[in-house]
Amino acid sequence: MTYYDFDPEIQQVFSSQFGDIPLSDWESWLSLSDREEYEDSAIKQSGLPEESLSQIETEKTDPRSFSVNVDTFITSHEDSVLVFCHTSGTSGGSIKDLKWFYMSRELVSLLWAPGMQAIFQKSGLSPQSAAVVFVPSRGSDDGLFHTSGKKVVKLYSAEVSQRLVLSIMHPGSYLIHEYKDSRTIEVLAELLTLDRISVVSAPFLTVLGWADPERLRWGLEKSLREPVTTVEGEQLRQRIEALGVEAATLKLREELSQVLSDATLIFSATAITEKEWEVIRQFLSWERGEEKVTNLYVGSEVGPFAANLERDWKRMHVFPLTIPVIEYRGVRELISQTDHTEGRLLVSRMHNGKPVINVDTGDVIHVQDQDGLPVIGGEILRDSFELKRDVIVSPEMGEDLNIFVGSYFDLGEMKIRNPRLLVECLSQRVGVKGAVVIRVVDNRWEMVVPAGKKPCSQEIERLLPLCPGGDVIDEALSRRDLRIRLVEEPMVSEMPRSTLLTKVRNGELPKGALTKWPLYVVMPSDFPHQPI
Give Cβ neighbours of residue 267 (< 8 Å, ≥ 6 apart). 201, 202, 203, 204, 207, 293, 294, 295, 296
What integer pLDDT is reported at residue 532 of this predicted model? 55
Three-state DSSP class for 459? helix
What integer pLDDT is reported at residue 458 of this predicted model? 83
In whole angstroms, what is the distance from residue 113 CA to residue 103 CA? 11
Same domain, residue pair 272 and 324: yes
* Domain-located, residue 321: yes
Q: Which of 83-92, 165-174, 359-368 has the lowest mean pLDDT?
A: 83-92
In whole angstroms, what is the distance from residue 417 CA to residue 472 CA? 9
pLDDT band, very low/low/confident/very high, at 457 (cuts 50, 70, 90)? confident
Same domain, residue pair 336 and 429: no
* Domain-located, residue 530: no
Phi then psi dihedrals of residue 233, to 5 deg: -65, -40
In whole angstroms, what is the distance from residue 96 CA to residue 140 CA? 12
* Domain-located, residue 391: yes
pLDDT band, very low/low/confident/very high, at 91 (cuts 50, 70, 90)? low
* Domain-located, residue 46: yes
Per the structure, the complete domain to which residue 314 belongs is given by 2-377
Please state the pTM of the whole predicted model.
0.94
In whole angstroms, what is the distance from residue 325 CA to residue 15 CA? 34
* Secondary element (H or E) of residue 116: helix 113-122
Task: Tabulate helix, strand, coil % of the chain (nearest 5).
Answer: 35, 30, 35
- Kindly provide the residue ranges of all beta strands, DSSP E only, lying in 458-514, ordered along the sequence: 482-487, 492-493
Same domain, residue pair 372 and 391: no
Last residue within a domain, chosen from 377, 393, 408: 377
Same domain, residue pair 363 and 266: yes
Last residue within a domain, chosen from 317, 348, 377: 377
Same domain, residue pair 279 and 409: no
Q: Indicate if the pLDDT at residue 347 is higher than 70.
A: yes
* Higher pLDDT pick, 528 / 394: 394
Q: How many structural domains is the chain composed of?
A: 2
Query: Tens digits of per-residue pLDDT, 385-394?
Result: 999 888 899 9
What integer pLDDT is reported at residue 524 of this predicted model? 87
Average pLDDT score over the chain: 94
Helix 245-259, helix 213-224: angle, nearest 10: 110
Same domain, residue pair 439 and 331: no
> Cα-atom radius of gyration of the chain, to the nearest Å?
24
Same domain, residue pair 22 and 40: yes
> DSSP character for 321?
T
Phi then psi dihedrals of residue 159, to 5 deg: -75, -40
What integer pLDDT is reported at residue 528 of this predicted model? 63
Q: Distance between alpha carbon 204 and the CA centroid of its chain, in Å? A: 10
Three-state DSSP class for 440? strand
Q: Indicate if the pLDDT at residue 133 is higher than 60.
A: yes
Query: Tens digits of per-residue pLDDT, 29-40?
Result: 999 999 999 999
CB 201 within 8 A of CB 134: yes
* Domain-located, residue 532: no
Same domain, residue pair 149 and 13: yes
Q: Is 21 exposed, middle or buried (0-12, 13-18, 19+ CB in 10 A)?
A: middle
* Domain-located, residue 446: yes
Same domain, residue pair 111 and 133: yes
> DSSP character for 228?
-
In whole angstroms, what is the distance from residue 217 CA to residue 448 CA? 36
In whole angstroms, what is the distance from residue 280 CA to residue 207 CA? 7
Same domain, residue pair 495 and 372: no
| Cα 112 to Cα 56, 160, 297, 308, 481, distances in angstroms | 23, 10, 12, 17, 45
CB 261 within 8 A of CB 210: no
Three-state DSSP class for 68? coil
Closest listed residue to residue 490, CA positions, set 407, 394, 423: 394
In whole angstroms, what is the distance from residue 341 CA to residue 353 CA? 32
User: What CATH number is associated with residue 32?
Assistant: 3.40.50.12780
In whole angstroms, what is the distance from residue 417 CA to residue 222 CA? 36
In whole angstroms, what is the distance from residue 10 CA to residue 164 CA? 11
**Long-range contacts of the stretch 331-334 (C-beta < 8 A, 24+):** 332/56, 332/57, 332/358, 334/39, 334/53, 334/56
What integer pLDDT is reported at residue 360 of this predicted model? 96
pLDDT band, very low/low/confident/very high, at 378 (cuts 50, 70, 90)? very high
> How would DSSP label each residue in 443-458?
TEEEEEEE-TTS--HH
Q: Indicate if the pLDDT at residue 529 is higher than 70.
A: no
What percent of the chain lies above the pLDDT cut of 70?
98
Same domain, residue pair 27 and 69: yes
Query: Tens digits of per-residue pLDDT, 469-484?
Result: 999 999 999 999 999 9
What integer pLDDT is reported at residue 286 of this predicted model? 96
Would you say how long the chain is, in residues? 532
Same domain, residue pair 260 and 395: no
Last residue within a domain, chosen from 377, 407, 422: 377
pLDDT band, very low/low/confident/very high, at 93 (cuts 50, 70, 90)? low
Closest listed residue to residue 454, CA positions, set 489, 430, 426, 480: 430
* Domain-located, residue 531: no
Q: State the amino acid at position 62 in one-letter form.
A: D
* Domain-located, residue 12: yes
* Higher pLDDT pick, 140 / 245: 245
